[in-house]
């Protein structure tokens, strides 16, 4: 077929769920043309995933979506409580608590939000389609993928049955674990899902979403708690407590908690389907009543009453009740030639760590800049290194995936443990850990201490491990120097949308006295960088929280100082979220050992960090060689 019969673009994205939409948003911000093919006509109204960790929040921020996070998308999840025993009571004492309302994970954000996925996806769609580089085709079905030389030829059918042909540099399958890209194109080429972790997990659970309305004295005059002075909101809070619960009931493990905005009054309950049970049958109303209703039935003795009290059934609207197969699996390879898998198409998670959507976001962000790098190069009949670039991408991602899976599976083991001896030892071990301050702090942090572990180097990975390369760049709060302004996130100044350089240079200074020498050192790499790291785009961050009366006689454009937790708490960025507890404004430089010059990739990974001008010039030369290979 002649080229004129094809629509041409740089990238085709098959699937516009959270992963595909995030990839599109980042490609658009970096001026890469792409077409997104989505089989559904509209965003589903079914709230599926409900938890998003701080990496996911940071990803939304990087896509230009921050203001709606706490006003429209979700709420800070605060504490995760692990409760044991067979008694079906949600307000019992927890044997383990993790506090995700604090700001100590290295991103500047809280640990988790509980969100409404349809609203989250709607904001992602708005972000991606606001770019002139994005073309979204909904109600469209991918029917063929074929790689030929330097291009991928694909076909899709629109809602009217018309066939459309696309010629692209790359095609990304973000169409889920049963999507066309992996099932129809990749699997015949030997790419398959495999067990992703040594602790194999593969179970069926039922996921239930309820929308709860408040009972009142008028609508439910016989409800016994009115006589005890309870308000409608207090009744709701009593039966549907705020903190998320991991119910470690050896008879039937479960997880439950609120999600979305407080005013939405949405509640999720997930429970395991036991051997011999059918998942579809267990999601039927009669079985939901047997499994779930005991948790929203309180003993009368709790209130000094004779009869037990059940939350009014007619105040509950079922939004979802269906079985899901939860597994820990990953594809043996995530790319073949110019066709790539990411998100659920490449790996699937069990439900215990809220990592499904966040892992897809990480895939998208780390893939986006590599696609930009590859698409900036002219197509050629000569050999290309795109396979090395893409394999380095998923080698890195699999490292982080393994850590997330290990943490998720450990959470699952807490929830699903059924051996009485192991339960006894677990509970006593955790009890004694609380008497040791460092261990107690680790318990409170949960998985956040593991999330920022540096990548391990192997040949071909784009960072220099000898200079702190592979480290996750911590995000801090900052303010401009020399002019008034609100508190900002450091990512938003380092990776400002208008910047053209793929890698960015951050210069960390102890005080303003170092600025002149630092600028002189940076000016000497302008020729070495060959325009890849523009001098005008360098960001300077001063470590002093208060510059006081320090002279401001020099140019302070692109110069910022660290901001305190108190300054952030008083800024618009803190609206709707908890104030930043345990925030360390100096965490960025501490992790990098006080290095002055930090070369950073767009996925917030440090390429190299060094202290003097000669080291900087060396690292810039290496980075340019990679970017222009």
* 380 burial type by CB count under 10 A (0-12 exposed, 13-18 middle, 19+ buried): exposed
In three-state form (DSSP H/G/I as H, E/B as E, the rest C), the secondary structure along 408-420 is: HHHHHHHHHCCCH
- Transcribe 198-247 into DSSP letters: SS--EEEEEEEEEEE----TTT-TT-GGGGGT--HHHHHHHHS-SSEEEE
In three-state form (DSSP H/G/I as H, E/B as E, the rest C), the secondary structure along 72-99 is: HHEEECCEEEEEECCCCCCCCCCCEEEE
Distant-in-sequence, close-in-space partners of 201: CB < 8 Å, separation ≥ 6: 326, 327, 328, 350, 409, 412
Mean pLDDT of 450-459: 82
Q: Which of 451, 487, 493 is nearest to 570 (CA)?
A: 487
Q: How far is 567 from 149, CA to CA, in rounded Å? A: 55
Q: How far is 8 from 151, CA to CA, in rounded Å? A: 10
Distant-in-sequence, close-in-space partners of 487: CB < 8 Å, separation ≥ 6: 477, 478, 479, 563, 567, 568, 571, 573
Greatest CA separation for the chain: 83
Would you say residue 228 has pLDDT above 80? yes
Write the CA distances from 118 to 45, 55, 114, 115, 544, integer angstroms: 6, 19, 12, 9, 42
Q: Which of 350, 359, 331 is nearest to 203 (CA)?
A: 350
| Token pair listed for 592 | 């990098």
Please name the residue that has the structure tokens 């040594």. Answer: 198
Mean pLDDT of 370-376: 95
Would you say residue 240 has pLDDT above 90? yes
- The model's pTM is 0.93
Confidence of residue 444 (pLDDT cuts 50, 70, 90): low
Total residue length of the chain: 629
Beta-carbon count within 10 A of 536 CB: 10
Mean pLDDT of 560-581: 96
* pLDDT at residue 381, as a whole number: 46
Q: How far is 458 from 469, CA to CA, in rounded Å? A: 12
* pLDDT at residue 430, as a whole number: 67
Would you say residue 206 has pLDDT above 90? yes
Q: How far is 501 from 531, CA to CA, in rounded Å? A: 8
* pLDDT at residue 1, as a whole number: 43
Residue-wise pLDDT tens digits, 13-53:
999 999 999 999 999 999 999 999 999 999 988 888 899 99
What are the phi and psi torsion angles at 111 (to 5°)?
-70, -40
Mean pLDDT of 439-460: 74
| Token pair listed for 203 | 């179970």
Q: How far is 346 from 186, CA to CA, in rounded Å? A: 11
* pLDDT at residue 2, as a whole number: 46
* pLDDT at residue 428, as a whole number: 61
* pLDDT at residue 352, as a whole number: 55
Task: Of 79-93, 308-322, 372-386, give the lowest mean pLDDT range.
Answer: 372-386
| Token pair listed for 242 | 């705020």
* pLDDT at residue 328, as a whole number: 74
Q: Averaging pLDDT over each range in 443-457, 548-562, 590-604, which range is the top one?
A: 590-604
Mean pLDDT of 417-427: 69
Would you say residue 351 has pLDDT above 80? no
Residue-wise pLDDT tens digits, 258-284:
999 999 999 999 999 999 999 999 999
Would you say residue 373 has pLDDT above 70? yes
Task: Name the residue with higher pLDDT: 611 or 105.
Answer: 611
| Token pair listed for 505 | 């240079």
Chain centre distance of CA 264: 22
**Strand, helix or coil for residue 617:** helix
What are the phi and psi torsion angles at 274 (to 5°)?
-80, 160
| Token pair listed for 128 | 């991606």
Q: Averaging pLDDT over each range in 2-16, 464-478, 522-536, which range is the top one?
A: 464-478
Confidence of residue 466 (pLDDT cuts 50, 70, 90): very high
Report the percent of the chain where pLDDT is more than 90: 72
* pLDDT at residue 196, as a whole number: 62
Write the CA distances from 417 to 84, 85, 117, 195, 410, integer angstroms: 10, 11, 30, 21, 10
Distant-in-sequence, close-in-space partners of 517: CB < 8 Å, separation ≥ 6: none
| Token pair listed for 531 | 């325009």
Task: Of 231-235, 411-415, 472-476, give the lowest mean pLDDT range.
Answer: 411-415
All structural domains of the chain:
7-47+116-198+328-416 (3.50.50.60), 48-54+68-113+202-327+419-453 (no CATH), 463-628 (3.40.30.10)
**Strand, helix or coil for residue 605:** strand
Mean pLDDT of the chain: 90
Q: For the chain, how big is the Rg over CA atoms in Å?
A: 26
């Amino acid at each position: 077929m002649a080229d004129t019969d094809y629509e041409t673009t740089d990238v085709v994205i098959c699937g516009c769920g959270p992963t595909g939409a995030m990839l599109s948003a980042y490609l658009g911000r970096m001026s890469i043309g792409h077409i997104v093919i989505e089989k559904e006509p509209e965003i589903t109204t079914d709230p599926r995933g409900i938890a998003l960790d701080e990496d996911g929040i940071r990803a939304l921020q990087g896509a230009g979506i921050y203001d709606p996070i706490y006003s429209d998308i979700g709420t800070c999840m605060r504490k995760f409580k692990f409760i044991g025993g067979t008694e079906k009571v949600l307000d019992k004492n927890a044997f383990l608590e993790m506090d995700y309302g604090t700001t100590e994970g290295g991103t500047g954000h809280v640990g988790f939000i509980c969100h409404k996925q349809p609203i989250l996806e709607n904001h992602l769609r708005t972000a991606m389609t606001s770019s002139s580089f994005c073309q979204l085709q909904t109600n469209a079905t991918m029917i063929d993928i074929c790689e030929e030389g330097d291009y991928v030829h694909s076909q899709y059918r629109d809602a009217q049955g018309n066939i459309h042909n696309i010629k692209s540099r790359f095609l990304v399958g973000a169409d889920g674990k049963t999507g066309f890209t992996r099932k129809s194109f990749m699997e015949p080429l030997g790419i398959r899902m495999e067990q992703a972790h040594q602790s194999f997990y593969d179970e069926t659970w039922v996921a239930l979403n309820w929308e709860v309305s408040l009972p009142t004295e008028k609508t439910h005059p016989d409800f016994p708690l009115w006589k005890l002075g309870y308000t409608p909101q207090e009744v709701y809070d009593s039966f549907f407590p705020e903190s998320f619960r991991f119910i470690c009931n050896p008879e039937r493990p479960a997880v439950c908690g609120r999600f979305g905005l407080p005013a939405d009054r949405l509640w999720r309950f997930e429970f395991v389907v036991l051997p011999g049970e059918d998942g579809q049958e267990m999601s039927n109303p009669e079985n939901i009543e047997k499994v779930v209703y005991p948790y929203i039935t309180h003993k009368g003795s709790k209130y000094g009453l004779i009869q037990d009290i059940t939350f009014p059934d007619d105040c509950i609207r079922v939004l979802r009740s269906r079985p899901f197969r939860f597994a820990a699996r990953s594809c043996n390879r995530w790319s073949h030639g110019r066709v790539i898998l990411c998100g659920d198409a490449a790996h699937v998670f069990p439900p215990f760590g809220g990592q499904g959507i966040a892992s897809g976001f990480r895939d998208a962000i780390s893939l986006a800049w590599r696609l930009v790098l590859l698409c900036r190069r002219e197509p050629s009949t000569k050999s290309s290194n795109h396979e090395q670039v893409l394999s380095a991408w998923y080698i890195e991602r699999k490292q982080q995936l393994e850590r997330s899976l290990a943490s998720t599976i450990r959470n699952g083991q807490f929830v699903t443990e059924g051996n009485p001896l192991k339960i006894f030892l677990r509970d006593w071990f955790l009890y004694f850990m609380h008497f040791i301050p460092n261990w107690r702090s680790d318990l409170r942090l949960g998985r956040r201490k593991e999330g920022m572990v540096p990548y391990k180097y192997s040949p071909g990975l784009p960072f220099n491990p000898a200079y702190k390369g592979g480290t996750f760049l911590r995000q801090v709060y900052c303010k401009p120097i020399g002019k008034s302004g609100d508190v900002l996130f450091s990512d938003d100044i380092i990776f400002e949308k208008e910047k053209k350089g793929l890698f960015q240079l951050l210069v960390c200074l102890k005080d303003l006295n170092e600025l002149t020498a630092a600028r002189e050192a940076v000016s000497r790499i302008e020729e070495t960088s060959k325009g890849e790291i523009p001098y005008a785009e360098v960001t300077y961050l001063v470590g002093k929280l208060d510059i006081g009366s320090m002279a401001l006689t020099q140019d302070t454009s692109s110069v910022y100082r660290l901001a305190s937790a108190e300054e952030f708490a008083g800024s618009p960025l803190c609206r709707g979220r908890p104030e930043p507890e345990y925030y360390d404004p100096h965490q960025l430089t501490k992790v990098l050992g006080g290095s002055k010059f930090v070369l950073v990739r767009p996925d917030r990974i440090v390429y190299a960090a060094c202290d003097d001008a000669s080291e900087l010039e060396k690292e810039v030369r290496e980075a340019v060689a990679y970017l222009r290979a």
